[in-house]
Amino acid sequence: MALVREIARSSLRDLTIISFAGIDADLLIGAGKVKKLITPMISFEGAPGTPGNYRRARQNGAIQTMELSEQLQRLGIKAAAERLPFYPTRCGLGTDLLKVNPGLETFAAPYTGETLVAMPALRADVALIHVNAATSSGYGQILGEPYFDQYIAMAADKTFLSAERIVPMEELKVGPDCAHIGRLWVSGIVELPLGAHPGDCYPDYDWDAKHLGEYSQAASDETSFKDYLAKYVHGTSDQAAYVKLIGK
């Protein structure tokens, strides 16, 4: 989220975002940065309210969308990571996912003749991943569930890690969970404590229910969201200023 706020402060526009989306995508939509969102869902990690910026953008057609299931999105990322043009799957057959994504092709399996879906590779220019710890050489450690982060790192032309802390390699090697992100895929690293806030970074901290509730309320209206951006994004020059503002 620290990197997302930097994007919101920047001059970047017309972005295509590939995300298992939450406040990250909603904030960038509200900041006017998003042209297209590729996602299977959007949620606020248990906080009350709805992603208001996303809802308004969908209702008025301000952004393009590619709506997928989690499995289809995972396979699209995996195809990109493995440098494949697509990934074969049964996922989506018999559902409206193929109707809302007319670009998804089906094909006959060469060995069985079975109809399968060809999920295209979701190749990205840049991947942004937050980790518990990283080395200065580029290894990243995720102490919670890594989900698809290894594939995400491999599916982008460049990957940048934000880390709660930068540590020596001998510290990263302690314990069974070592480096989930290999340095081969990493272009840059930055140390950003509380970099996932107001989301969680297990086991370092849980999501901030109070702040997420404040965000949800602000995102329900364009005017109130401008006030949120003015306070928490444009009103802070960097992550250190943001952390000071939220009183952590």
pLDDT in tens, 50-93: 899 999 999 999 999 999 999 999 999 999 999 999 999 999 99
- Domain-located, residue 119: no
Spatial distance between the Cα atoms of 239 and 248, rounded to a whole number of angstroms: 11
- Residue 237: the pLDDT is 95
pLDDT of residue 126: 98
| CA R_g for the chain | 19
Handedness of CA 34, 40, 45, 47 (dihedral sign): positive
Contact call for residues 128 and 156 (beta carbons, < 8 A) = no
Query: Which 8-state DSSP code applies to residue 181?
Result: B
In a domain, residue 213? The reply is yes
Dist CA 187 CA 156 (whole Å): 10
User: At 29, which CATH number?
Assistant: 3.40.1080.10
Does a structural domain hold residue 149? no
Assess if residue 7 is contained within a domain: yes
What's the total number of domains in the chain?
1
Q: What is the pLDDT of residue 238?
A: 95
Segments in the chain below pLDDT 50: none
**Alpha carbons 85 and 83: distance in angstroms, whole number:** 7
> Which domain, by its residues, includes 52?
1-68+209-248
State the pLDDT at residue 177: 62
Instruction: Judge whether 36 lies within some domain.
Output: yes
Q: In sequence order, which residues have a C-beta less than 8 Å from that of residue 101 and are 6 or more positions away?
A: 66, 67, 68
pLDDT value at residue 174 = 63
Q: What is the pLDDT of residues 133-159, one digit of tens each?
A: 999 999 999 988 888 899 999 999 999
Looking at the domain assignment, is residue 160 inside a domain? no
> How many angstroms separate the CA atoms of 219 and 171, rounded?
41
